Structure 1
Amino acid sequence: MAEHFHPLGKAASSTTAAAAAAVRSSLPFEDTRDFEESSHGFLAAPTYRQILADDGRVIWDMGAYDWLLEGQDFDSIHPSLQRQAVLNMGYGLYEVVPGRIYQVRGFDLANVSFIRSDTGWIVIDPLTAKETAAAALALVNETLGERPVVAVIYSHSHGDHFGGVHGVVDVADVESGKVPVIAPVGFLEHAVAENVFAGNAMNRRLFYQYGILLPQSPFGHVDQAIGKNIARGTSGLIAPTISIVEDVEELTVDGVRMVFQNTPGTEAPAEMNTWFPDLKTFWAAENITGTIHNIYTLRGALVRDALEWSRQINKALYLFGREAEVMFASHSWPRWGNERIQEVMRAQRDTYAHLNNGVLHLANQGVTINEVHNVYRVPESLEQQWAARSYHGSVAHNARAVVNRYLGYWDGNPTTLIPLSPKDSAPIYVEMMGGAAPILAKGRELVDAGHYLLATEILDKLVFAEPGNAEARNLLAEAFEQIGYQQESPSVRNSFLAAALELRSGIPQGVAPNSSGPDLIRALSTGQFLDFLGIRLDPVKAQGAAFVVNLVTPDNGEKFVVELSNGTLTSLEGFTSDNADLTITLNRTDIEDAMIGTRPLQQQVADGTAQLEGDASVLIQLAQMLVTFQLGFEILPGTGGIPAPTADDPFAQPAFGDSTGG
C-alpha cells in the first residue's frame, strides 16, 4: 500500500472504493485497441528518464510516474483515469508512417512530430520547452540519422505547441528565410492575447487544474489527460514567417505536399489540421485527441464553441477522413486503418455536437446553469467509447460552459443575480446552524457516510465564516480529497486535491507555472501593453487624477493617445492630442527592453533614450498607481496569501497566463 504524501491525507474510503469497483464493471476495459495503437511503431527510448535545464534543474521527470507501470489498481484513482494515465506513459521515438513520419512522445505534455522531407526534418509542434524539444530532436537524429530542420509548423496558439522552438531551430535561420515557420492565420495575436489580461489569475488557477504542486502519487498527480504533465523549462517563441490564410490551403515544403485546414474557434482561436495527400495521413492538431477536451478550461479562458468544434471535425472527416489510412495528433497516439479513423472522428464529432445540442435542449426547458451538470447525460453509445470519455474536460464543467456561452452565468433566479460574497453570507448560515460544533458534527457524519458533496455544502460555509478554524478546514479537505479520487478528469481531480492540500498546509511554495519568456513579451502589441497597464491601474490611487499622454514610437510609426480620467486608463492607436500633458518619444524596440525588464523605463528616461516633452511628473504619477499582482492570492480562506513581489520597474510586463494544454 502506497503511503500518502501528507500526514493528514487519507486513503480511499470504502465509498470511494465501491465507486471505483462500479466503474471497473461498467466500462469496456476489454477493448485494448488504444494500448496496441499507443505502442505501435516504437523504435527507441533514451537511457534517461529525466531532462535537465542548463542549471541542473529537473524540468521533466517521466520516472516519477513509473509506479503506474507496476500493474496495481488504485482505488484513489478513477479506473478510467488510471487507464488513460498508463496509456500516457509512452516514452520515446515512434514511427507513424514507415520511413516518413515519426513522433517523440512522453517528453512533455504534447507530442513533437518529425516529417522526413527531401533534405531534412519538418518539425510539427516543438513542445513547451527548449530543453525537451532539443532532447527529442537529438533522439530522432541519433536513431534515424542526423538531418537538418528545414521547416517548423505550429498547429495552434497554445504554449505547449510552440514554446520549445529554440530547441529545434536557430532564430537566425528563420530570419534569413532558410527555415520557414508556418502557422494558422492569427497565430501570433492569439498566442499572446488569450493569456495576457487575466494572466495572473490564470496562473494561480493553473495550480489547481494542473496540480502544479501536487506530488506524483496515487493520492496526488497521476496524469494530465492529454499527456503526462507540463515541462518546466525555457519557453520561447519565433514568429511565423508563413501564415495559412485560406480555409483550405495547399503548400509544398521541401518536397512534402500538405493541405492545411484552418479550424478557428475550436480547441484554440487559431488552429489548423493538416492532410498529407501523398501519404494518406491526417494530422488532427489538438482537435481530435484521446479525450473529449475543454469547452471551458478551468484555469480560465474564453468559453469555446462545441458546435463549431463538431462542425470542423465533420468537415475534416469529409475532406480527408474518408481516405485517411493514418491519423496522428499533437497529443495521445495515432490511429491506423480507415475504419478505425472514421470511428474515432465520428465519436468525437458526435460528442461535441451532442454536448451543445443536448445541453441547449435542456436549457430550453428551464434547466439552469446550476442544474444542468446534474441532468445532462452523454448517450450510452458514446459513454462506451474510450475516444469519447471526458478526461481533459469533464461532462459536468463542459455542460455548464455551454449554458454560459449562450445564456451567461445567471440562472434566472433573482436571488443569485446579486449574491453576497461567500465571506459575507457564510456567517448567517453558521449562526442559523447553531455554530461550528453542530456543523462539524454533521460534516463528520456526512463524510463518514460517503456524502462528500453534501458535506462540502455546510463545511464550506464554516470555513468562510471562520477561516482560522483548522478542524473545519481539515474536514473540508477530507471531503475534497475523496471527491478528487473519484474524478475521471484529472483537471477536476487536481482541483479538489490541490484545494485539500492548501486547506491542510497553506499555499505551497514551489515552482511557478511556465508563463512568458522574453520572446512572448516582445510579441505583445503596444496596444495590448497599454491595455494591460489599464488593468494594473489601482482606481483608488487614481481617483481624482487626470492627464493625457502621447506615446510616439518612431521605429515602427505607431502613435497612441493615453488618457487617465475617472479612475480609468484608456488608449487609442493612431491618434495624438494637441493638448497632451506629456509626450513620450521612444522606439518600440526600447519599449520591449522595458517590458522584459532588461532596461527599466526610468533608466531610459535618465539616459535620454526616452524623450519627454511636457510634465515628466505624469510618468511618476502613473508608475505609483500601478499594482504588481500577487500570484499566491487565496482561493480558500485561511490558507495564507503569498505577498506580491516588488517590481524593479513598475512598467515591466508581468507574466502572461500559461496557455499550455488549452
Structure 2
Amino acid sequence: MPKSSSPSFAQGLTQGLALLSLTLPLSLMAAPNPATEATTKANDAVLDSLDFSDKQSFDDARRGFIAELPNAEVLNEDGKPAWSARPYAFLKDEEAPATVNPSLWRQARLNSIHGLFEAADGIYQVRGMDLSNMTIVEGDDGLIIIDPLLTPGTAKAGLALYRKHRSDKPVVAVIYTHSHADHFAGVKGVISQDDVDQGRVKVYAPDGFLENAVSENVIAGNAMTRRAAYMYGVALPIDPRGYVDTGLGKGLSQGARTLIAPTDVITENGTREIAGVPIEFHLAPGSEAPAEMMMYFPEQRVFNTAEVTSQHMHNVYTLRGTEIRDASLWSRYIDEVLEDYGDRTDVLIAQHHWPVWGTEESKHFLGVQRDLYKHIHDQSVRLMNHGYRPGEIAENITLPASLAKEWSARDYYGTLRHNSRAVYQKYLGWYDANPANLNPPTAVDEARKSIEYMGGINQVIERARQDYAEGNYRWVATVMSKAVFAEPKNQEARNLAADAMEQLGYQAESGPWRDVYLSAAQDLRGSAKPATGTSTGNEDMLQGLTTGMVFDLFGVRLNGPKAEGKHIVLNWAFTDTNERIRTNLENATLTWLPDRQSADAAATVFLTRSTLNDILLRKITFPEAVKGGEITVDGDQAKLFELLGLLDQFKPDFPLIEPRDTAQR
C-alpha cells in the first residue's frame, strides 16, 4: 500500500469509497452445518404457503432472449474474473435444498437467467451479468445506454454482446437513472471521458445526481464498507450453504468503479429527444435513491421505472446503513406512474430483474408495488401511534393476503420486519421512550451482568443448547451474542452463536438477511477473515468530490480527544479553481467556510485541486508535494502538519459480532 503523510485522511477516504470494491478472502472455510430438522420444517412450510406452481415469472424472464455470453464469464483487463455464472450452476435444480429458503431459491434461479434480451422494438436489456441491468436503446444516429452497470468490465462485455447480435452503431448518449454505483460506475466500459469532452456523447442524469453519487458512501463510508461485507456476503462461498443471491440481482461484479460527470441534468418532468428518440422523464427524488428518475418511451409504449419498482420488496432501510427512505413518497411516485402511464404501457421494464409484459399486467404490478410501500408506511405509523415499539411493530405488522401472495412483494431484499422499524426510526428516532433505554449500560457491561444474573457462562450455554435443540434459534442467537460480548474468547459460546445464526440464515427469505447471518457465523467460528476494503478504480469518484466535501471528511476524521485544547486556523487557496477556504480547529471541532480567508490564520496553503486529487489518490504525499513545490505554505508550515496528524485512520475490518477495544477511540 502506498505511503502517505496523512494516511488517516487519504487512505481512510479511499476505503470509504470502497463500498462495493471488496475482494474475497483466500482463507479456508470451516465446514458449515447442514440444516436442522427445525430449519427443514420451516422451509417446508414456505413451500406449502406459496404457489410454486406459478411459473409466469420464469416465462417473463426468458421472453425476448437473444443470446448469452460464451462461457458465461467476463474477464477484466488484468485477466481476473469480473463476473461469472459458473459458480451458480447448482441453481439449475428446481428443488431447493434444505439449507435455502425455497422462496429465495426461486428468486435466485430467476436472477440467474442472463444475457441479452429484447424488451421492445429498438429497446434491449443486458440482464443477470451484474447486480443491475443495462438497457440499450437504438436511436437514429447511435445508441443510448441506460445505466452502464457496476464495473467497466461487465458494461463493455454487455455492449459487445449486443453489438454481436444487433448493431455496431456508436454510443451517443448515456443515461444514469439514479445515484447508486451499480447504475453508473461501469460507464467507462461503454464510453470514454474524451468522448464526452469532444462532444461525441452526452450524459444525462437526474437533478442532484453527482453530489449524491460521490457523497453517499464517503462520510460514513468506512462503516458502510464493513457492514456491506456482511450484507452482500462477500466472504461467503457460493454454494447452497453459502451465498446464493442478493435478491436484487445475481451479485456484484468485480473491478474498477468509474464515473463521468453528467453533461445534461434533468430538473423537471417532461420530454426530451435524444438521438432522435423521444423520452418522457419522470423524476422521483427521495424514493429509492436521493436522486432518481424514470422514463417513458411513447413510440414503443415502454415505461422504465429505474429502481422505483422491482420484483420484490425493496429496502426502506438497507442493512449496510443509509438514510431512511420515505416509503409514503415512494408509493406516491408509483401511483403517479400508474395514473399517468398505466393505460399507455405495453411493457414495464426496470434496471433490476425482468420485465412485466402487457398493459393490464403492468397496471396490476404497479398497483401492488404502490400499495406495498404505502402499507408498510401506514401500518407501521398506525401501530406506532398505538404505542408499539419498533420490535413490537416488527412482530405484529403483516401484509394483507392479497399482497403477501404476490411474488413481487416478497422479502427478497428488504423485509417487512426491518422496513417497519425504519418507518419508526424516520418519525421517532432510536429512542423508544422507555427511560431504561435512554442511557443503558454499555453492550459489554450489559452482557457481563446478564450472564452473571443467568447463573454464569456455563449454565447459560447449557440452557441455550437445549433451546437450540428445540429450534429456538432467535433466542439462542440473542443470548449467545451476550455471551460472546461477555467472554469474546469463549469459543464454545461463539460456536453456538454461529450455529444459531447459520440456521436463521438458512431460513431467511431475504438475500441480505441470509448473508449477514452466514457471514456472522463465519466470523464467530474464525473460519474467514473479513475483506480488507481495498480500493482500486475509485479515481473518478474521488475527483468528483467537491472541495467542501474534502474538508467535511477532514472533520469526521478529526480525533476529538487528541485535538482538545488546540486552535489552528488555516487558509487554503486553490490556484487552479480560485477557491478560497478557511478552516478553523477549535473546541476539538474542525469547521470550514468557503470564499473566506482569515487574517488570523497560522498559514495559507497554496495548491491546486489537481494536487489535492493526487494526494487523495495516494499518488503523492503532503510532504512530497511541499518538498516538490506543488504545495507552498505561507506562514507556520508546522501547523498544517499538526492538523493532518490529528486525523484518524479508519480500519475497514472492525468487529461487528464482538466487542471492540474502546481504548482505540
TM range (shorter): over 0.9
2:413 pairs with 1:392: yes
Task: From 559, 573, 584, give the equivalent of 2:580.
Answer: 559
In 2: Cα distance, 1:85 partner to 1:341 partner: 23
| Mapping for residues 452-491 of structure 1, pairs under 5 Å | 452-491=473-512
Shift of 1:589: 2.0
2:76 pairs with 1:53: yes
In 2: Cα distance, 1:631 partner to 1:512 partner: 6
1:142 is matched with 164
1:613 is matched with 634
2:87 pairs with 1:67: no
2:366 pairs with 1:306: no
In 2: Cα distance, 1:78 partner to 1:513 partner: 32
Q: Deviations over 1:258-316 (max 9, x none)?
A: 01011000000000000111111100100111111100001011000000000001111
Q: Which shifted more, 266-275 or 428-437?
A: 428-437
Task: From 423, 433, 440, give the equivalent of 1:412.
Answer: 433
Matched residue type, 1:169: I
Please give the secondary structure, in 2, of the residue aligned with 1:500: helix
Task: From 208, 211, 232, give the equivalent of 1:210.
Answer: 232
| Mapping for residues 79-478 of structure 1, pairs under 5 Å | 79-98=102-121, 100-246=122-268, 248-478=269-499
Shift of 1:513: 7.3
CA contact (8 A) 2:287 2:326 kept: yes
In 2: Cα distance, 1:402 partner to 1:322 partner: 32
2:13 is matched with none
Shift of 1:614: 0.8
In 2: Cα distance, 1:185 partner to 1:344 partner: 27
Q: Deviations over 1:57-101 (max 9, x none)?
A: 222121111100123321111111111000001111111103x01
Please give the secondary structure, in 2, of the residue aligned with 1:151: strand
CA contact (8 A) 1:213 1:511 kept: no
In 2: Cα distance, 1:325 partner to 1:511 partner: 46
In 1: Cα distance, 2:470 partner to 2:502 partner: 15
CA contact (8 A) 1:93 1:105 kept: yes
In 1: Cα distance, 2:94 partner to 2:45 partner: 19
CA contact (8 A) 1:203 1:513 kept: no
2:66 pairs with 1:43: yes
CA contact (8 A) 2:229 2:531 kept: no
In 2: Cα distance, 1:521 partner to 1:299 partner: 21
Distance 1:473 1:8, change over 3 A: farther
Please give the secondary structure, in 1, of the residue aligned with 2:70: coil
In 2: Cα distance, 1:140 partner to 1:117 partner: 14
Q: Which shifted more, 203-212 or 55-64?
A: 55-64
Shift of 1:212: 0.9
In 2: Cα distance, 1:317 partner to 1:325 partner: 12
Shift of 1:416: 0.7
Shift of 1:119: 2.0
2:7 is matched with none
Please give the secondary structure, in 2, of the residue aligned with 1:322: helix
CA contact (8 A) 1:506 1:639 kept: no
In 1: Cα distance, 2:263 partner to 2:441 partner: 51
Q: Which shifted more, 105-114 or 5-14?
A: 5-14
In 1: Cα distance, 2:161 partner to 2:629 partner: 49
Matched residue type, 2:593: L
Q: Deviations over 1:574-606 (max 9, x none)?
A: 211111111112122221121112222222211
CA contact (8 A) 1:503 1:638 kept: no
CA contact (8 A) 2:255 2:536 kept: no
CA contact (8 A) 2:115 2:126 kept: yes
Distance 1:28 1:350, change over 3 A: same
CA contact (8 A) 1:507 1:640 kept: no
In 2: Cα distance, 1:94 partner to 1:255 partner: 22
1:540 is matched with 561
Q: Deviations over 1:199-240 (max 9, x none)?
A: 000000001111111111111100011111001111100000
CA contact (8 A) 1:64 1:216 kept: yes
Matched residue type, 1:313: I
Matched residue type, 1:59: A
Shift of 1:554: 2.7
2:499 pairs with 1:503: no
Matched residue type, 1:23: V
Shift of 1:8: 4.8
In 2: Cα distance, 1:93 partner to 1:513 partner: 32
Please give the secondary structure, in 2, of the residue aligned with 1:30: coil
Q: Deviations over 1:428-483 (max 9, x none)?
A: 11111111111111110001100011112321111110001000000000000011
In 1: Cα distance, 2:657 partner to 2:501 partner: 12
Matched residue type, 2:408: A
How many residue pairs get aligned? The number is 637
Shift of 1:192: 1.4
Distance 1:639 1:221, change over 3 A: farther
Please give the secondary structure, in 2, of the residue aligned with 1:519: helix
Q: Deviations over 1:87-123 (max 9, x none)?
A: 001111111103x011111111001110011122100
Please give the secondary structure, in 1, of the residue aligned with 2:475: helix
Shift of 1:540: 2.0
CA contact (8 A) 1:111 1:127 kept: yes
Shift of 1:510: 4.3
2:4 is matched with none
In 2: Cα distance, 1:556 partner to 1:249 partner: 34
Please give the secondary structure, in 2, of the residue aligned with 1:593: helix
1:650 is matched with none
In 1: Cα distance, 2:88 partner to 2:124 partner: 24
Larger relative contact order (C-alpha < 8 A, sep ≥ 6)?
Answer: 2
In 1: Cα distance, 2:427 partner to 2:343 partner: 33
CA contact (8 A) 2:255 2:537 kept: no
Q: Which shifted more, 537-546 or 478-487?
A: 537-546
In 1: Cα distance, 2:428 partner to 2:583 partner: 35
Matched residue type, 2:560: P
Distance 1:511 1:232, change over 3 A: farther
In 2: Cα distance, 1:400 partner to 1:173 partner: 46
In 1: Cα distance, 2:415 partner to 2:536 partner: 25
Matched residue type, 2:313: I
In 2: Cα distance, 1:446 partner to 1:556 partner: 65
Matched residue type, 1:319: D
Structure 2: runs of 5+ lacking an equivalent:
1-27
Shift of 1:49: 2.1
1:33 is matched with 56
Matched residue type, 1:451: N
In 2: Cα distance, 1:19 partner to 1:85 partner: 19
Please give the secondary structure, in 2, of the residue aligned with 1:458: helix
CA contact (8 A) 1:149 1:179 kept: yes
1:647 is matched with none
Shift of 1:6: 4.5
Task: From 604, 629, 642, give the equivalent of 1:583.
Answer: 604
2:99 is matched with 76
Q: Which shifted more, 387-396 or 355-364?
A: 387-396
CA contact (8 A) 2:444 2:659 kept: no
In 1: Cα distance, 2:534 partner to 2:317 partner: 20
1:592 is matched with 613
Q: Deviations over 1:166-203 (max 9, x none)?
A: 00001101112210000001100000121111000000
